[in-house]
Each structure stands twice: as structure tokens, then as C-alpha cells.
Amino acid sequence: MADNNRFLTDLSANELRTFMEELGAPAYRSRQILQWIYHDFVWSYDEMVNVPRGLRDRIAAIMPLHGLKMVNELTSRDGTVKSLLELADGKTIEAAFMPYDNGHCTVCVSSQVGCPIGCPFCATGQMGFERNLTPGEIVDQLLYYARRLKLTPIPNGPGFISNLVFMGMGEPLANYKNVWSAIERINAPDGFGLGARNITISTAGVVPQINQLAKETLQVGLAVSLHAPTDVLRDKLVPLNQKHPLGELLPACKEYAELSGRRITFEYIVFHGYNDTDRHARYLAKRLAGINCHVNLIAANRTEMFRSETPTGLDMMAFQKQLVDMGMNCTIRNSRGVDIGGGCGQLRSRIFPPPPLPETPVNPQTLP
Ligand code: SF4
């Protein structure tokens, strides 16, 4: 009987082995299938030509191979590809592929449909939360781009995916179990084989799960969307702050950096005149003092939902200089895919406009 809720890419290597045993297939069949999925990037059982047709048909009758398909795609002048992907239940998510001149290539994946955090500047935040993605739906976003790159190589461009970031739709640490399960198979030598240090989780600051992440053996990178140096301002920009304020979040970040031996990245979207004054720079430097960290400044993208001032290049450099002068590691991140609406949730919002903003603010009790 078909299992409509699971896909083959939802299974870990051990689960796949057990599944094959239950079908009476020899153990080497699961290794062949892993090879087809994670190294040959096949998208249908028909392509697994060294697996007997009868076995392929039996597997297909129980479990589809992948859990998503591409329904819309935009390519930026800078090579960034933004994809709208439809899940088996008809819901849609976004993912992005970003090739760089230095030969690196980063894929950005979603972890949830919608997002429970509700940041006012983010298109995804205005959609509300629909559901968590399964491990397979997360892995499939990476496999989709790996296949795309294999079928359509970029002339003189990167030949493989070197980095993965959880910076798409959703709060990855609010879907911890499935995100971690996806990371394990993306990292596994008989899975995608991507090094843990090339994987970054970006969070709005779910403190209990930052503490949990610090204890994991795989040392993935952590990026925290900070955007403000005071609780008063951050409560407005990142509503999760009402539940996990800076006094709780920053010590957890410090501990993560100490336990993992890895430098934390603080993402700071610059809303000109709103969070980039001299006072904000001083507060920021003071609050992050003593944390092994790096601050990434990102120019705000003006969206229909959040009509803030977009900083000029000079505004960005002036704010960066203040932080650097106070001893901080700080860079300005070049926004990618600006001409195609590269911000998270913008492609989906264009195709499926979200309902009007709720009149009541986000209830912190409902936050993760
Ligand atoms: S910025 Fe991130 S955490 Fe905030 S609403 Fe958007 S997806 Fe969620």
C-alpha cells in the first residue's frame, strides 16, 4: 500500500536498509539506490537502471522517490536562481541557488511552509505558519539543484554545490528534529557527503535549540538574525525576541561559540535611520563584546509589507566603519538576486499573494 506521507528521501541509510530487507532485496540494493539518489541525482525510479524493474515497481508503489517539483523559476543577472517548489500536498516553498565567481556555490533551503516568527520586513513572515517540512522535503531542495547543475552546467562556473544554508522560508530550529535528520543525511558519506562546516543554520534565536545544537557532534555553522542591539527595537523587528530576549539569546550564542569552537555570524539587516545610528553601533559593539563572532551587514530590501529606507552603499560603509573602529569583525554582504526579488518569500508572494496583515500583533505565546 502506498505511503502517501513519506518519500524515499525521507529515509535515512539505516531506514532504507531495513525497508529493502522487508522487501526481501539484498543489502547491496540499498547502497545502489543511495548512489542513484545522492551521487547521480536521479528524479525517477526509471533512471535506476541497475535495480531490477520489478523491485523498482514495488518500491514506487509504496513510496514516491521525491517530495517536490519545480513550478516556477527566476534567474538573476548575477546567476542566482530562485525556485518555487510544490510539495505533494500542493503547498509551495522557495529555495535558491547562488553560484559565486570564486567557484563556490551555495544552496539556500526552506525548513517550513510559511514561518511562525512573523518578522514584519519578511514576505514569508506575513504568510503565517502552515507546517514543518519533512527531512526528505529539505534534502530534496538540495538534490533538485544538484540535478539541475548536472543537467545544465554553468560554463566556467562551479561544478558542484559547496555550501548549504538554512535561510529560506521558516525557522529551522522550530523544526529541529527534521532539520537535523536532513543534515545527517546531507553530511553522510553514503548520502550527499557535504561537510558539516559547509552547512549553516540561520535562526531568529530559539534559545533552547541553540543550546541543544551546541551539544551535537556535527559542528554546523550558526547564524543569528539579530537586526537590533536593544530589546525595545528587536521586539518589533523579530517578534521572537519577546519570548527569548537578548539577555537570554546572547549568552546562549556565547556558549555555542565556546562549546563548538566556531565563530557565530550575526546577521544585521540595516534599515536606514531605524537601526544604524551611532547609538545603535555603540550598543551593538557593547552587547557582542566577548563573543567569538562576526557581523554581517545586509542592506534592507524595501518590500510591499515593510517600507523602510534602503541604505545607500555609503550608509552601509559608514555603519560598518563605526563597528570596525570599535574592534568588531564586520563585513557587508552583497545581496544576491535583487533583480528577481531575492528576499525570502518574495517569489511565492508574487504568485500567491498573502492575505492582508493581521490587525493583532504576533502573540508571543504561540512562538517556538
Ligand atoms: S525573517 Fe526568517 S524568521 Fe523572520 S519571518 Fe522571515 S523566515 Fe521567519
DSSP string, 255-292: HHHHHH--PEEEEEEE-TTTS-SHHHHHHHHHHHTTS-
Confidence band of 291 (pLDDT split at 50, 70, 90) = very high
How many Å lie between the centroid of ligand 1 and the Cα of residue 119? 5
Residue bearing the CA closest to ligand 1, atom 5: 125
Output the ligand 1 site: residues, CB below 6 A: 115, 117-119, 122, 124-125, 169-171, 204, 344
- What pLDDT score was predicted for residue 5? 76
Grid cell locating 63: 513510496
Contacts of 263 (CB under 8 A, 6+ apart): 257, 292, 293, 294, 329
Which amino acid type is present at position 77? R
- What pLDDT score was predicted for residue 111? 98
Read off the pLDDT of residues 344-365 as tens digits, 9 standing for 90 and up: 666 666 655 544 444 444 444 5
How many Å lie between the centroid of ligand 1 and the Cα of residue 364? 15
How many Å lie between the centroid of ligand 1 and the Cα of residue 34? 33
Asked if pLDDT for residue 304 goes beyond 60, the answer is no
Positions annotated as catalytic residues are 94, 344
Read off the pLDDT of residues 26-39 as tens digits, 9 standing for 90 and up: 999 999 999 999 99
| Domains of the chain, start order | 8-62 (1.10.150.530), 68-366 (3.20.20.70)
Confidence band of 159 (pLDDT split at 50, 70, 90) = confident
Q: Tell me which of 93, 112, 113, 117 to substitute to probe ligand 1's pocket, judged by most ligand atoms within 8 Å of the beta carbon.
A: 117
Which atom, in ligand 1's list, is nearest to the CA of 124? 6
Q: Tell me which of 124, 237, 308 to substitute to probe ligand 1's pocket, judged by most ligand atoms within 8 Å of the beta carbon.
A: 124
Grid cell 505511503 is found at 3
Neighbours of 73 (CB within 10 A): 14
Residue 176 to residues 37, 45, 111, 188, Cα–Cα distance (Å):
24, 30, 9, 18
Grid cell 539556500 is found at 108
DSSP string, 149-186: HHHSPPTTS-SS--EEEE-SSS-GGGGHHHHHHHHHHH
